[in-house]
Chain A
Amino acid sequence: MVHRTAPILAATAALLGAALLPTASRAAEPLRAAPRSALPPAAASWLGGDPPAKLFVKAGRIWTGAPEGSKVAPYLSPGALLIVDGKVAEVAATLEAPPDAVVLDLGDAVVMPGLIDATTTLGGSSDFIANSVWKDDAVAAHFDPADSFDSFADWRPTLLGGVTTVYLSCGERRLVSGQGAVAKLASRGGGPEFLARQSALEINLGAQSLQPPARVDPPLPPAADQPILPAERQLPTTRVGQLLGVREAFARARGTLASGDLSGQALAAAVQARRPLRITADEAAELLRATQLARELGHPAIIVGAAEGALVADQLAAARYPVVVEIGLSLERPPAERGMPDVDAPRLRPESAAELVRRGVKVALATPPGAAPSDLLLAGAIALRGGLTTEQAVAALTRVPAELLGVGHRVGCLMPGKDADFVVLSGEPFLRSSYVQKVFVEGRLAAEPAAATSRATAGRGGGTVVIRGGTVLTGVGEPIRGGGVAIRDGRIVSVGANVAIPPGARIIDVGPDAVITPGFLDANSHLEYGEDRTNLSLDFDLLQAVAGADEMALEVARHGVTTALVQTWQAHQAGSRIVALKTAGTTRAARVVDGLAGVKMFWRGPFDPLLTAERYRGQLGEAKRYSDAWIKHAEELAKWNEEQKKKSAEQAAAEAAKAAEPKKDEAPAEVSKEKKADPVTGKWTVTVSGGPMPEPMSGSMNLKLDGDKVSGTFAALFGDEDDPRNVAGSLSGKTLTLEIDVDIPIGKPTIETELDADDHMVGKLKLGDRFAFDFSAVRTDKTFVEVVTVSKGKKKSADGRPAAPDLKPELEPFRRVFAGEIPILLECDSAVGIKHALKVFAEFKVEVVLLGADELHRLPLADWKGIVKGIVVPEVIEVPRTVAIVGEAPAPAGGDGPRRPRPQGDAAPAARPVESSASRERWVPAAEWSALGIPVAFQSNGITTARGLALNAAYAVRLGMDPRAALRALTIDPARMFHIEDAVGSLEPGKHGDVLVFSGDPFEFSSRLQKVFVAGEEIALEMKP
């Protein structure tokens, strides 16, 4: 397998010797041999389903990890992979997909081989046992991290960092800490798999292995001839001691070993097999010692750590050992552990990797022990900071560590015959904004980030789309070069240069030439009405008929119009509704921006403007009265509620006062002043006590005396104020007998009382013949209050509660007009009509937007500029007009008859233009009005003719309209006219995510609309067949 590789590889292979060849050639090991899959398959249900036999992968870019000079290029753009039974069969720039293969088209994603982390502590570490009373040796070659690797654990978080294969290291605390293993975190069968066990002997020359704890071996039981000896110090305590300790251990291993010496036996096996040594060293001096030791011991070696490798790069290069450079997120080494000697931690130089690579050393990048392997890509990026190229960094994370760990025959690059372990990234591997989209191991989907709605990614960017690049025209403010828009949940969350990108966001790079604009608005659309030209009156609510966007609406959306002001073809005489809808969206709720965005009114021609004005005045007057009536009602109701609250408080206070008063003899004066009142009728406060009740209970009752019949309601013990019970009975003399209409098993309750004094009665309330309560009542009010039992709601009483005005659906929209919330869209062709209409509207102080307004130019600007909020220009951009001299009519030449007063706007006869072709000119209302500072909007006045809205605007710009004003006319100005600018019309945070991406200036005819987003959802620009 070695012969196919490049010369440099062959040299290193020769150096590293037999240990790098496949397992078969390794010497037999007395300790456990390494079966390929020593672990039972984990019952992990989180892995993808059965992988297909043939998988064909297409991607925008593929990093293959192949070495220089091999048949496969290291970087393919675009690229394709064919995977058969979990192994790469073919890889090239373009390939034919076999007919029986499952095709995976990754778009413009980046594919790279699964990363290999050459140092991890996923198998725990063989650090000294805390609080142990046991012999803990500094030289312990028998530790095996494969014992503690958890094959049942969920390794997806590590896989999602792009790492598919790891070396399980034994730790740095012991001088010889064990022999590590290489594991894949997933496999074609599902669970993790060991690729190699006991693959390298670990020697630690760093500061961490100095001063191990003393060794204690107490005899059990201690006796005079077997005393407890003091703990013995063990090597290494100094740097020299480290080298001495290793040499001693090796010497012991070559001699006879006691049968209980597991470490010695393990070391002997390693020596016999000439297993590679992994020597951990960070400082410059340590690194030199490491190379010296490796040479002395005669084993192949790998130098691990090499934080200060840049300082001794030449010597390391001369020694020709491969190096694993450990890079953590902090540029310092991890802080000293407790119990460790207090030494200065060596400072990581990010240029170490680059310096070594430049001198031809094989360098692999890894995360430091204790760090999360999922940060390995970031380690690669930091190495770039130190001077590595992207290609070198990719190799240092994939192919080189695979070869170092002796598993290069299976993993490390995407070349024919290797395992198909690859990572799908959203962008180039070392960019901050790139993230892992999918991880495949042996052709099986091993991990992908959780769905956007999950808790883990919610609020962290899941479901966010970021569109960036080019120029952003927000519709308000200045253009932003190189900016971006971030959309989440259909709303814009941020806009600006260098917009913040949450992790996991989908990034759409549009390129430097593109222009990003808000979605366009069509100020007059008939989308939902179709060809139905009925004049529907104001009480017709179109919303009931709105459903998900149909093909016509989507067609409009595809051409950039994202919001349409939908209205009837022609307004009803009394007005019609205008509804603001989105042109895309699957539900009504998603499409409605405003159910009532305006009232469309139509002013018939120039005939009899005064009559028409009167009619309008009347109509608006009625509407205003209606609106005012409602406003007044609202005020009165509020006032009445206030009074009721105060009154009930007073009443309650009064009742309380009355109840607190001692029962007094009724003043005869009262009797003499008024005529003798009805002894029963009125409101009574009731007290029920005794019997089985622990405390007296009070309530109320209302009674009415009619002859000798008594009726009313009862609310004490049975019923309550809001839901009293009916009561009926009779009065004979001073005895009042009542029966309460309550259904209980022992019979209806009865009250028998004596009117012993005015406004007072006392007696008994009986329930059948079993219970009797003491009953007394005091009258508080002599008027009978008709209590109508209303189900749990406000009681309606005749106490002057203001009655609501009758609801008139056809006038309801005008309430919002008079409140200033929506405009009246006036469609009027004639200048006369406009003039009179505006006068009427001005009287009523409503906002007016003119639709069409072909003859508006014949009115003096001053007359209408203050009243008209905006103009929706005709759908034909360039219209002919008759030049009129606007202003005062010049004095007639010569005297003539009495001058008939003419309505302003008609030119004076002397100045009446001659209707000749020469005096007709073509003008662009959009350009002219916007030049005068009046907001304009574009309309389609059709169903799908809105397709041409953007082109119309471009034409207007060509004819002289200011492009900035043109963009405003498509976006924010119509939004402001119809008061929907809080939802649409510009790219500002909080508004709908309606975004258009043009390939260039939107008003250049050569520009193409590349992307359309409505509420954050991209609209496919190709029509479905």
Chain B
Amino acid sequence: MVLSSLLAASLLAATTALGDSAAVRGGTILQPDGTRIEKGIVVIEDGKVTAVGGPETPIPAAATVLEADGKVVFPGMILAHTQVGLDIPNENMPIAPFVNVYDSIEPNSAEYEECLRTGITTVHAIQGNNTVIGGLSRIIRPQGDMVEYMTVRPDYALKISITPRNGFNRMTQLAELRRAFADLKAHVDAVAERRYEEEQKKKEEKVLVLPDEAAKQGLAHVTIDDLDARWRTLWRASKGEIPLFVHCDRAMDVSNGIAWLREAKLLEKAVFVVGTEAHKAAGALKQAGRPVILSGALVHKETDPLTGKESEVFVPKVFADAGLPFVLQPNGFAFNADGLLWYQAARCVREGVARDVALKSVTQWAADAIGMGDTLGSIAPGKWGNVAILSGDPLDQATVVEKLLLEGRLAYDRATDRRLKELATGQELAAPSAEAAPTAAPAAPAAPAAPATEPPAAPPAGGGSGSGK
């Protein structure tokens, strides 16, 4: 943290390619709820949107104006639960709350470049599903040479899976989950007892109590540093300080998950990551009232055991009809069409989901799911300047991302996309020189409240993404 603040200080003076303010002029501003502003203007200052309006919106004199005539201006999309850029999704240990995705992220991964190319501005990197307690996640922007520069929110959420991990069945999975929390309690009680004794030593009158009572009274004096490093994250989670991303692949897992969360009094912190069979539990999910992230497979296939008839259900339609907000994920990454986030939203529209629901599922609701609903997810004054300039409608397959703004900086420009040019022409191009880098240091704005949510400082000029290997 110290390092990042020093870097921030040293780099605030650095000039950016676009300056401290930018404006996008002339494009059709499309909001996730479907409202359009023709020939609109978006003004971004210090990384935040300050004005959104029609052609008469005033633009600051110093602003760099990006012409978007004939283009569509859309908020950057959000991956709310992904293992993109991680080296392996899960550790071998079933209970690993001390694992942090910080160690796994590869900043130079081509997958982050692909995120920018396809219009994704925020990524919630989190452990995979093959676990019991997976570890801590991190919200990052897909640009930066070091994880600190990518980080938007560190140590964000704890990954838990109710669906059994390989080798487990539901009985053993839930037993392990309960045992982890029981072991935590045992450890905390031991620490609390010790703290009580220490507190007692300070006092004049020593009150001798039974160990149980000592543990209860000592709990108030326990701080996080007293605990063994292995248990700190789980303790924070058990107190409800961090969100839980709970993987429930099947309907029965949703049921069990909700029951366990209620028992542990953690339902209010949960975000459900569900599979396709969970459409059968749509009612229970709606009643729980928590965000729901749908796996990349959107179609549930089932064979009737008696007649052999196969039936298919398009799960987002079930959720949309039930009035349950949901978040989409890509399926696999980039090799098939459904590896593209906008394509998943387009499939929803094809199957009858309302357009605004489909668009929200990859923008506003995704931002809500990662707790950044008031800073991301749409283009509105006060929100971060994560804006994509598209060549057409976001759900049209012919549309491409022309430019992508990350907090007001030009993070991606299709005209200078080296990899794309190599693919099209078949020639290898020279790596761009340091000065010619179009993307310069991001002077990121401060994010609201809590510790460790400040986006750390920018990379030195000449770094930036798009310049891969």
Contacts and interface: CB of A to CB of B under 8 A. Distances in A.
Contact of A154 (B170, B304, B308): B304
Given A134-B94, A147-B174, A152-B251, A124 B306 contact: no
Interface in A25-64: 32, 38-40, 42-43, 46
Contacts of A153: 252
Interface in B68-115: 92-95, 98
A194 to B, nearest CB: 12
B179 A262 contact: yes
B422 interface: no
A157 B305 contact: yes
Contact of A129 (B172, B189, B256): B172
B277 interface: yes
Interface in A212-264: 220, 258-262
A862 interface: no
Interface stretch (A138-146, A538-546, A1008-1016): A138-146
A147 B256 contact: yes
8 contacts: A43-B280, A140-B175, A143-B172, A148-B171, A259-B189, A260-B186, A262-B178, A456-B306
Nearest to A218: B93
A1007 B277 CA distance: 61
Q: How large is the interface on B (under 10, 10 to 19, 20 to 34, 35 or more residues)?
A: 35 or more
A455 interface: yes
Contacts of B5: none
Interface string B280-311: 11111000000000000000000011111100
B169 interface: yes
Contact of B167 (A129, A140, A149, A262): A129
A132 interface: yes
B236 interface: no
Nearest to A147: B174
A132 B308 contact: no
A262 B175 contact: yes
Q: How large is the interface on A (under 10, 10 to 19, 20 to 34, 35 or more residues)?
A: 35 or more
Interface string B343-355: 0000000000000
A123 B306 CA distance: 21
A43 B285 CA distance: 13
A43 B304 contact: no
Interface in A126-177: 126, 129-134, 140, 142-145, 147-154, 156-157, 160, 170
Given A142-B178, A147-B174, A455 B252 contact: no
A143 B178 CA distance: 10
Nearest to B258: A40
B182 interface: yes
Q: Main SS of the interface on chain B? A: helix
Contacts of B201: none
Contacts of A151: 252, 255
A43 B254 CA distance: 13
B234 to A, nearest CB: 13
A131 B168 CA distance: 10
Contacts of B185: 259-260
Contacts of A144: 171, 174-175
Contacts of A140: 175
A147 B280 contact: no
Contacts of A156: 305-306
B175 A130 contact: no
Given A43-B283, A152-B250, A156-B305, A220 B230 contact: yes
Interface in A674-696: none
B56 interface: no
A40 B307 contact: no
B183 interface: yes
B192 to A, nearest CB: 11
B435 interface: no
Contact of A148 (B92, B169, B187, B306): B169
A337 to B, nearest CB: 15
Contacts of B171: 123-126, 143-145, 147-148, 170, 178
A903 B129 CA distance: 106
A2 interface: no
B179 to A, nearest CB: 5
A143 B173 CA distance: 10
Given A43-B280, A259-B185, A143 B175 contact: yes
Contacts of A131: 167
A95 interface: no
A449 interface: yes
A450 B94 contact: no
Contacts of A330: none
Contact of B252 (A43, A46, A150): A150
B263 interface: yes
Given A147-B171, A154-B305, A40 B263 contact: no
Contact of A260 (B182, B281, B307, B309): B182
B255 A262 contact: no
B319 to A, nearest CB: 13
Nearest to B189: A259
Given A147-B174, A455-B307, 8 more contacts: A40-B284, A43-B282, A129-B168, A144-B171, A147-B170, A148-B169, A260-B187, A454-B308
A261 B176 CA distance: 12
A133 B93 contact: yes
Nearest to B278: A152
Given A124-B169, A152-B277, A260-B179, A456 B307 contact: yes
Contacts of B250: 150, 152
A510 B174 CA distance: 57
Interface in A713-729: none
A142 to B, nearest CB: 6
Contacts of B306: 156-157, 160, 449-450, 454, 456
Contacts of B169: 124-125, 148
A152 B284 CA distance: 12
A126 B281 CA distance: 26
Contact of B170 (A32, A148, A259, A450): A148
A258 B175 contact: no
Interface centre among B175, B230, B251, B309 (most CB of A within 10 A): B175
A157 B305 CA distance: 7
Contacts of A154: 304-305
Contacts of A455: 307-309
A435 to B, nearest CB: 13
Contacts of B309: 454-455
Given A133-B92, A152-B252, A449-B306, A259 B168 contact: no
Contacts of B170: 124, 147-148
B76 to A, nearest CB: 36
Interface centre among A39, A178, A220 (most CB of B within 10 A): A220
Contacts of A149: 252
Contact of B186 (A126, A130, A133, A258): A258
Nearest to B98: A220
A261 B263 CA distance: 18
Nearest to A144: B171
A40 B92 CA distance: 33
Contacts of A454: 306-309
Contact of B182 (A125, A178, A259, A450): A259
Contacts of A178: 171
Interface in B179-214: 179, 182-183, 185-187, 189
A450 B306 CA distance: 6
B167 A260 contact: no
Nearest to A447: B306
A154 B305 CA distance: 8
B307 to A, nearest CB: 4
Contacts of A40: 255, 281, 283-284
Contacts of A38: 259
B175 A450 contact: no
A129 B174 CA distance: 13
Contacts of B178: 142, 262
B175 A32 contact: no
Interface string B234-268: 00000000000000001110011001000100000
